[in-house]
Amino acid sequence: MTTTADNNRDRVQITVDGPELNSRMVTEQVSRDFFNVTRNYRWLVAILGSVFVIGIIALILRFLDGFGVSERAQWGYYSAMFAFLLITAGSAPLVAVGLRWTKNHWRRPFSRVSELYAAVGLLTILWFLPLMALLPPLEGRRSLWVSDEFIGVPLWWDFFAVLGLVVCGLTLLVLSAIPDMAVLARHGDDGPRARLLRSISGFWRGSQSQWNYHRIGLTALGAFYFMLLIMVQTMINVDFVMSLVPGWKDSIMPAHQALTGLQTAIGLVLVTTFILRATGRYKDFIPMESFWSFSKILLALCLLWAYFWFAALITFWYGRTPTELNVLSTFMFESYRIPFLLNFFFSFLIPFLILIWNPVRKSVLGPTLAGASVLIGAFFMTIRLYVPAFGIEDVTGHTLKAVQPAILPDVLDIFIILGGLAGAALIYLLASRIFPILSIWEVKEGLLYQRVRPLLRSKFLVLGKPD
């Protein structure tokens, strides 16, 4: 690929292959894919639904096996699954929000892919309900909350914070998709989905005032979602990890989990878009340059992840109080050494070694592999944090007096985790039958700023800046 730019920096030229895209091609392709429910899609939904049902059965058996504060250790992997859903699917809509603020072109095929993960929030909020009964009272232990005199502290405050995040994400998704739903309603038949689209987007006429309100609404909701996400991840990390470990005081850990959410959000969107592109349906609309651009952000976040981890480690390492040494031994170097090493390798070392090479970054597969790696690393991060925290019986002490033994998953834990992953994927697939997985209006908007022009024996994609 060759790129050139003029002295005014108002356009960039990129060599391209294939036909020049137009608005009609976008509408026809998305409409055809949206209303055509293939047999492979039905099979995939059936398989994911079956695994999800098995996970629900395992969860019911876990309830029957023991539920309450005294059996909290049995729910460590369940809580880790909740945290994984929160930092991955919960953070994914922020990709569309943040990149929309920067007004770049290459993010357009990724916007709806990331926003659709707001629908997984429905599973996240349901997954959170059992955890509310497992959190011990504040009396006798350190916590984020100064006093327990406030009504509902901390359980209902955490619940409404998570609920607010889910509602804000769903509102953001619906608002973003309304123009596309109006377009699909005009190109669909009289089936139930077309009628649903017309009932939701019937007011949309595409006037200038509507587009202005649409842009303002996306900006405002995006800002609220960003603030809520950081707040929720901080509250959950403190209330369900650090406050359960006597003597653990670490101001970096909540920020580290929030950063991991940003890292895994990009990884999740990259992997999802790669799968979408690999099917061949949207290959013309998802260029390699978008993956290349994403890889640079992911590389920076991997370096930040290592910095935050080292900053937290060095404080405990040189402090060397008995509690700090026991925390390090429990969460990193002894009891949960293997999850920690997997976390370190997949969250930092492997994606870093992949992305430092420009020929690998400048591809579709390279950034996707790095994105898959950070997802695996985030999963083992939640394992090594939430499982040992839920395994501590006496949470009212002032210090962690001994290294906690490792808690291995049993068969029910494995099926619950698989059921949670399958449930998230199932909700995402079902949501893609209501909201198109490619943002029609954003792709069309991008086409207004680009033209394919010949130069010598090559073709160049000329991109203009909107402002």
Over residues 277-336, the pLDDT tens digits come to: 988 678 888 888 889 999 999 999 999 999 999 999 999 999 899 999 999 999 999 999
Task: Count the residues in the chain.
Answer: 467
Separation CA 180–CA 211 (nearest Å) = 13
pLDDT, tens digit, for every residue of 329-377? 999 999 999 999 999 999 999 999 999 999 999 999 999 999 999 999 9
- DSSP bridge pairs for 454: 459
Helix %, strand %, coil % for the chain, to 5?
Answer: 70, 5, 25
**How many H helices and E strands in the chain?**
18, 4
Q: Which residues contact 174 (CB under 8 A, 6 or more apart)?
A: 200, 435
pLDDT at 1 over 70: no
With a pLDDT cut of 70, the percent of the chain lying above it is 93
Separation CA 62–CA 81 (nearest Å) = 15
- The mean pLDDT value for 180-197 works out to 83
Q: Sorting pLDDT into bands at 50, 70 and 90, what band is 7?
A: very low
Neighbours of 8 (CB within 10 A): 7
Separation CA 410–CA 408 (nearest Å) = 7
> Do residues 397 and 36 touch, judged by C-beta distance below 8 A?
no
Separation CA 299–CA 273 (nearest Å) = 18
With a pLDDT cut of 90, the percent of the chain lying above it is 64
pLDDT at 462 over 90: no
Q: Which of 168-172, 205-209, 301-305 is predicted least confidently? A: 205-209
Q: Please give the order of strands across the beta sheet that includes 11-15.
A: 3-5, 11-15, 458-464, 450-455
Q: Which of 74-78, 245-249, 289-293, 452-456 is predicted least confidently? A: 452-456
pLDDT at 75 (0 to 100): 94
DSSP for residue 346: I
pLDDT at 81 over 90: yes
Domain count, the chain: 1
pLDDT at 355 (0 to 100): 95
Cα–Cα distances in Å, from 198 out to 31, 35, 179, 183, 208?
14, 14, 11, 9, 20
Q: Sorting pLDDT into bands at 50, 70 and 90, what band is 141?
A: confident
Which amino acid, residue 13?
Q
What is the crossing angle of helices 411-431 and 121-132, to 10°?
A: 150
> Do residues 117 and 136 touch, judged by C-beta distance below 8 A?
no
**Structural domain of 367:** 3-464
**The two three-digit tokens of residue 248, written as one number:** 């653990």
Q: Sorting pLDDT into bands at 50, 70 and 90, what band is 173?
A: very high
> Do residues 235 and 144 touch, judged by C-beta distance below 8 A?
yes
Q: Sorting pLDDT into bands at 50, 70 and 90, what band is 27?
A: confident
Cα–Cα distances in Å, from 185 out to 217, 299, 354?
22, 40, 43
pLDDT at 38 (0 to 100): 86
Separation CA 421–CA 78 (nearest Å) = 12
pLDDT at 144 over 60: yes
Q: Sign of dihedral through CA atoms 440, 446, 449, 450?
A: negative
pLDDT, tens digit, for every residue of 381-423? 999 999 999 999 888 888 898 999 999 999 999 999 999 999 9
pLDDT at 20 (0 to 100): 63
pLDDT at 13 (0 to 100): 41
Q: Give 423 or 101, the one with higher predicted confidence.
A: 423
pLDDT at 245 over 50: yes
Note the pTM of the prediction, 2 decimals: 0.91
Q: Sign of dihedral through CA atoms 247, 249, 253, 255?
A: positive
Q: Sorting pLDDT into bands at 50, 70 and 90, what band is 452?
A: confident
Q: Sorting pLDDT into bands at 50, 70 and 90, what band is 4?
A: very low
Q: Sorting pLDDT into bands at 50, 70 and 90, what band is 147?
A: low
pLDDT at 2 over 60: no
> Do residues 386 and 238 touch, judged by C-beta distance below 8 A?
no
DSSP for residue 349: I
Q: Sorting pLDDT into bands at 50, 70 and 90, what band is 190?
A: confident
Mean model confidence pLDDT for the chain: 88
pLDDT at 8 over 50: no
Q: Which residues contact 45 (CB under 8 A, 6 or more apart)?
A: 426, 429, 430
- The mean pLDDT value for 170-193 works out to 88
Q: Sorting pLDDT into bands at 50, 70 and 90, what band is 6?
A: very low
Measure the N-to-C terminal CA separation of the chain; round to a whole number of Å. 25
pLDDT at 199 over 50: yes
Neighbours of 351 (CB within 10 A): 29
Separation CA 326–CA 337 (nearest Å) = 13
Which amino acid, residue 397?
G
> Do residues 210 and 201 touch, judged by C-beta distance below 8 A?
no
Separation CA 401–CA 119 (nearest Å) = 42
* Highest mean pLDDT of the ranges 10-14, 87-91, 180-184: 87-91
- The mean pLDDT value for 89-103 works out to 92
**The two three-digit tokens of residue 4, written as one number:** 């050139």
**The two three-digit tokens of residue 204, written as one number:** 């949309």
